[in-house]
């Protein structure tokens, strides 16, 4: 996951007859408004640098005019950069000749557009196989592959329909299937869901996350919607006036906004839908091991002012919880810690959203245990931490 798939260095895109003459003004930090006023040139992207990791969903978010769509079009050279470098797998694509660029677009980076861009005179499957046919793949192979991809995006049985017979959401699925047909490493998605109604949009967002988890693609996704950005993005870049203002995980941006602009951007966000269990848990210092005695359990609870304590083995694997009442009773009855283990607490992985923890925190009298896939205790969450995560 830490392998860098795309690396952008000091990228600028300026619109005008001799854009190279404006580069120094951009690099010196002069605003795009002032450059436009003084020179008549429009700065689309201003000295931008960022990296995209392999197999992550990297979202570029910004309001209209921020430069986000201009930027993504630079990543497949639909917009030729005025200055800077764009490395994909350590190759600077800005230096590609026509043949290498054609191969790059056919095999490595596919674009999914906002308004679908389907060929209305071709059937659904005709749209999907088009890129394969251009590459010289046989008709049988093309159609077999297209059918599998259409099935993966929920369009099995719609192969022979025409685009005009499909809803907006289904048309966008065709666009996505067409992009996936060439099995690209990178999907470039320019506000692909913005034309869809809210319900279909949410469905497509969920489907995109599922597709990424199955196919392991690197996705660069453009949106003006902060909720969509934080729902989809492993990391998010926020753009303003052609520049990137902040890059980080949704949690990092919400918890540590870079400036007042970002603060205003995120102030109305529902934090419970962004913050995750791992960010609000605390280290479980008050624990006992399964081979310790009941008296040790009482001592730990007494020292820490708590009425229950979690029990782990010598590898920190969670075994259960014991309460002070059960422990005192067990001392009188000559029982062991193992005899009184309880399991009526809630456990959760670290990537669970706080919003999903709220009902568990309310209904459960014990702290929530945060555990790894193999049941290792990573941390604990008490009710106040869940509620504090909303503020």
Confidence of residue 1 (pLDDT cuts 50, 70, 90): very low
| Average pLDDT estimate for 178-207 | 84
Give the Cβ contact number of residue 26 at 10 Å. 25
pLDDT at 300: 95
Same domain, 15 and 135: yes
Which residues touch 102 (CB under 8 Å, ≥6 apart)? none
How far apart CA 247 and CA 234 sit, in angstroms, is 11
Strands (E) in the chain, as ranges, are 4-15, 42-53, 57-61, 83-88, 91-92, 109-112, 186-190, 218-223, 235-240, 243-248, 287-289, 308-312, 318-323, 347-348, 368-371, 377-381
Q: Give counts: helices (H), strands (E), the chain.
A: 16, 16
pLDDT of residue 272 exceeding 90, the answer is: no
Q: For residue 71, is pLDDT > 60? A: yes
Where is the domain boundary, 250, 271, 292? 271
- Per the rule left: phi > 0, alpha: psi between -120 and 50, beta: everything else, 235 is beta
Encode pLDDT of 240-270 as tens digits.
Answer: 999 999 999 988 998 889 999 999 888 877 7
Are both 68 and 210 inside the same structural domain?
A: yes
* pLDDT number for residue 354: 86
How do residues 126-176 score in pLDDT, each as one tens digit?
999 888 888 888 888 888 988 988 888 888 888 999 988 988 888 888 888
Domain with residue 183: its CATH number is 3.40.50.300
154 and 257 fall within a common domain: yes
CB 355 within 8 A of CB 270: yes
**79 and 196 part of one domain:** yes
Short-list 93, 113, 90, CA closest to 105: 93
| Predicted pLDDT at 85 | 96
**Confidence category of residue 349, pLDDT binned at 50, 70, 90:** very high
3-state secondary structure of 39: helix
Average of per-residue pLDDT values in the chain = 89
Reduced to 3 states (helix: H, G, I; strand: E, B; else coil), residue 107 is helix
We report the CATH number of the domain holding residue 358 as: 3.10.580.10
Confidence of residue 345 (pLDDT cuts 50, 70, 90): very high
Q: Angle at CA 180, nearest 5°, toward 179 and 186?
A: 80
User: What are all long-range contacts of 33-36, with beta carbons under 8 Å and residues at least 24 apart?
Assistant: 33/241
| Shared domain check, 342 and 249 | no
**Same domain, yes or no: 86 and 121:** yes
Q: Is 387 a residue whose pLDDT tops 70?
A: no
Tell me the DSSP string of 154-171.
Answer: T-TT-TTS-GGGS-HHHH
Query: Same domain for 234 and 96?
Result: yes
Rounded to two decimals, the pTM is: 0.76
Residues 189 and 49 in one domain: yes
Contact 183, 152 (CB under 8 A): no
On whether both 121 and 102 belong to a single domain, the answer is: yes
Domain extent at residue 339: 278-388
Determine what percent of the chain is predicted with pLDDT higher than 90. 58
pLDDT higher than threshold 60 for residue 389: no
Count how many domains the chain has.
2
Residues 315-344: tens digit of each pLDDT = 999 999 999 999 999 999 999 999 999 999
**pLDDT confidence band for 77 (50 / 70 / 90):** very high
Comparing 239 with 361, which gets the higher pLDDT?
Answer: 239
Same domain, 162 and 84: yes
Asked if 282 contacts 389 with a C-beta cutoff of 8 angstroms, the reply is no
Pair 250, 307 in one domain: no
């Amino acid at each position: 996951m830490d392998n860098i798939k795309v690396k952008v260095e000091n990228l600028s895109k300026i619109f005008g007859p001799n854009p190279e003459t404006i580069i120094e003004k951009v690099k010196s930090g002069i605003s795009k408004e002032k450059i436009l006023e003084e020179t008549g040139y429009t700065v689309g992207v201003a000295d931008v640098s960022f990296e995209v990791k392999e197999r992550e969903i990297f979202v570029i978010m910004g309001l209209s005019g921020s430069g986000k769509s201009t930027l993504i079009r630079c990543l497949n050279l639909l917009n030729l950069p005025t200055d800077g470098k764009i490395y994909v797998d350590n190759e600077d694509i800005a230096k590609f000749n026509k043949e290498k660029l054609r191969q790059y677009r056919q095999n490595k980076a596919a674009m999914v557009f906002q308004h679908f861009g389907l060929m209305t005179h071709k059937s659904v499957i005709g749209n999907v196989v088009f890129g394969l046919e251009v590459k010289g793949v046989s008709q049988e192979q093309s159609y077999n592959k297209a059918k599998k991809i259409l099935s993966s995006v929920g369009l099995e049985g719609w192969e022979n329909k025409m685009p005009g017979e499909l809803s907006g959401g289904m048309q966008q699925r065709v666009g996505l299937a067409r992009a996936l047909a060439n099995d690209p490493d990178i999907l470039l998605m320019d506000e692909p869901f913005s034309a869809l109604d809210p319900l279909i949009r949410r469905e497509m967002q969920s489907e995109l996350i599922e597709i990424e988890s199955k196919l392991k693609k690197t996705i660069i996704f453009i949106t003006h919607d902060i909720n969509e950005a934080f729902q989809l993005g492993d990391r998010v870049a926020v753009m303003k006036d052609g520049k990137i203002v902040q890059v980080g995980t949704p949690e990092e941006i919400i918890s540590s906004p870079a400036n007042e602009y970002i603060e205003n951007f995120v102030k109305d966000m529902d934090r419970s839908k962004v913050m995750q269990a791992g960010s609000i848990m605390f280290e479980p210092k008050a624990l006992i091991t399964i081979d310790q005695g009941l008296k040790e359990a009482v001592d730990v609870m007494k020292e820490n002012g708590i009425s229950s304590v979690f029990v782990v083995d010598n590898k920190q694997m969670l075994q259960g919880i014991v309460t002070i009442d059960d422990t005192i009773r067990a001392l009188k009855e000559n029982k062991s810690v193992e005899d009184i283990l309880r399991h009526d607490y809630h456990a959760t992985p670290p990537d669970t959203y706080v919003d999903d923890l709220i009902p568990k925190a309310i209904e459960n009298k014990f702290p929530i245990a945060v555990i790894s896939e193999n049941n290792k205790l990573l941390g604990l969450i008490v009710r106040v931490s869940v509620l504090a995560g909303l503020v």
